Amino acid sequence: PALPKENLGSLTDYYLVSKGPPARVAGIDSRSLRIEPKDDLRYGRQFWFDGNTGLLLKAELFDEKGDSKETFRFTEVRIGPVDRSALKMHSNVQSKDWRVHTVRSSVTKVDEETWALRTPLPGFRLVSSMKRKVGADSPEVTHLMYSDGLSAISVFAQPVAAGGTPLQGGSASLGAVGVYRRAVGGFANRPESTLAP
C-alpha cells in the first residue's frame, strides 16, 4: 500500500499494530503485521511481506468479527533480475464489444468546495478534491477523498436534473465496499459512491 509517511504517525491513535505469525506465501517465508481498529469506523488488516526485500506478498482486510472481506496475494514470486521482454503485453485486446470511456477530471482547492462533513470522522482528513465529467451530456461530479492514512472514504456528489427521477436512497455493500446514497439539497450521491474502510 502507498501510505504517505506524514499519515503513519497517527495510525496508532486509531489502530492497534502488532506482529503477526510468520507464514509461507508464494513459496517465500514471510513476516506479518496485524493492524486492528480501535473503533467501528474502519476495517482491520494484516500484511505478509518478504523479510529481506520488504515486498508485500499478501494483504487481507477483515471486519469486526475477524471475517475476511478481501484478500490480495501473490501465488508465485521470483525476486531478482527481470527480463524486459517478460513485461510486454502478450495479448492485443481489440474487440467491437470494447469501448473506450474517457473521464475528464480537474483538481479543485478545498476552499472552493461547498461540501463539508457535518460531523468530522475521527482521524480522517480531506486528502483530495476534484471535479469529474463522465460524459459530454452528464453533469460535473464533485469527488472528495478522505483518509486516515490507511482507510479511505470517497464522497461523490452530482446535481439532480430538474424534472428527473426522484432519487432512491439507501445503502448496500459488496465485499469490502459499502455504498450509501441520498439526496441533499438538489444533489445526489452517485451510485458509484464508495465508503471503503
Local mean pLDDT, 10-residue blocks, the chain (197 residues): 58 92 94 94 93 94 90 90 80 67 68 69 86 74 86 83 67 80 66 39
Amino acid 180: pLDDT? 81
Residues 6+ away with beta carbon under 8 Å from 167: 160, 181, 182, 183, 188
* Nine cell digits for residue 114: 461547498
Amino acid 93: pLDDT? 61
Q: Which of 95, 25, 20, 30 is nearest to 62 (CA)?
A: 20
* Nine cell digits for residue 122: 475521527
Q: Which of 31, 101, 56, 72 is nearest to 175 (CA)?
A: 72
In contact, 143 and 150? CB cutoff 8 Å = no
0.85 cut: is pTM over it? Answer: no
CB contact burial 104-138 (16+ within 10 A = b; e otherwise): eeeeeeeeeeeeeeeeeeebbebeebeebebeeee
Amino acid 193: pLDDT? 39
d(CA 171, CA 106): 28
**The cell 504517525 sits on which residue?**
9
Q: Which of 119, 191, 121 is nearest to 156 (CA)?
A: 191
